[in-house]
Amino acid sequence: MQNIYVLSDIHGQSRAFFEMLEKIRFSSDDKLYIIGDVVDRGPDGIQLLEYIREQKNMELLMGNHEDMLLRTMNDEDSWYETWLFNGGGVTLASLMALPKEQQEQCLEFVKNLPLYRMISVEGEQYLLVHAGIDAALGDTDEQLKAMDRDTLLWIRREFFNACLSCPYTIIFGHTPTGALLYYAKNLPEESREQAAAFHITRWNRRIGIDCGAAYGENLGCLRLNDQKEFYIKI
């Protein structure tokens, strides 16, 4: 049986990432979706991008940090300082250390990352997206395709506090689960306990899986076949 895993927001923490692969006994028969933010803050973002690019059974989705990398490298000057402020300096240095051809291949890979994926596992439907959706604009496939890129990569409060009626569960990263205590107004008590521990947090058709690897907390991974959670402490 193929196991389907999701994780998010590795932020250059290669030790934790490879320890996670060992912990879940990830094999060539399995599939791993990474919901953005491989790069920045930690030291090994470009190394991880290059590794993931070569793996046939790993799929990376666009995160806001990959988007900031692209915008900066496309000479959008207004993004340069924002990217550096958000930990992009280490990524830029690592990228520039690569041979020119490899730099171009890496950037082409990032350029073509999808903004979201709809998948089905064990009869359950999941929308994988880095930050979330604007539920007020609708949740059909056509409405998702038309949704603003920045919304899918940056949204917080509007998504956390919306009433969802979609026929799928939304799995997202972007916001460390501990910060949901601040952003999400109506977290049930059990969800608040999960968030406070920087664990995978579930409520009302949402599953947050950014467990704070960028801030010295956890790298979290969820196996969708049986909902089992795995953690590596940073």
Collapse the DSSP code of 75 into the 3-class scheme (helix H, G, I; strand E, B; otherwise coil) and give the result. coil
Task: Let me know: does 104 contact 96? Beta carbons within 8 Å.
Answer: no
Please, what are the domains in the chain? 4-233 (3.60.21.10)
The pTM (predicted TM-score) of the whole model is: 0.97
pLDDT recorded at residue 228:
98
pLDDT beyond 80 at 1:
no
Average pLDDT value for residue range 15-34: 98
With CA atoms as reference, report the closest residue to 34 among 141, 176, 172, 215. Answer: 172
Give me 62's structure tokens.
Answer: 């666009």
Going by DSSP bridges, is the β-strand pair 206-208/169-172 parallel, antiparallel, or unpaired? Answer: parallel
Q: Which of 223, 228, 230 is nearest to 121 (CA)?
A: 223
Structure confidence at residue 3 as a pLDDT band (50, 70, 90) = very high
Percent of the residues in the chain that have a pLDDT greater than 90, as a whole number: 94
What average pLDDT does range 225-234 have in this prediction?
A: 98
pLDDT at residue 77 is higher than 80: no
Q: What is the structure's pLDDT at 98? A: 96
pLDDT at 75 over 90: no
pLDDT above 90: residue 19: yes
pLDDT of residue 78: 82
How confident is the prediction for the chain on average, in pLDDT?
96
pLDDT band at 76 (very low <50, low <70, confident <90, very high): confident
Other C-beta atoms closer than 10 Å to the C-beta of 28 total 7
Closest among 126, 202, 125, 205 to 165, alpha carbons compared: 205
User: From its phi and psi, is residue 75 left (phi > 0), alpha (psi between -120 and 50) or beta?
Assistant: left
Residue 144: pLDDT band (50, 70, 90) is: very high
H-only helix segments in 27-99 = 45-53, 64-73, 80-85, 89-96
Question: Tens digits of per-residue pLDDT, 155-164?
Answer: 999 999 999 9
How many other CB atoms are found less than 10 A from the CB of residue 105? 14
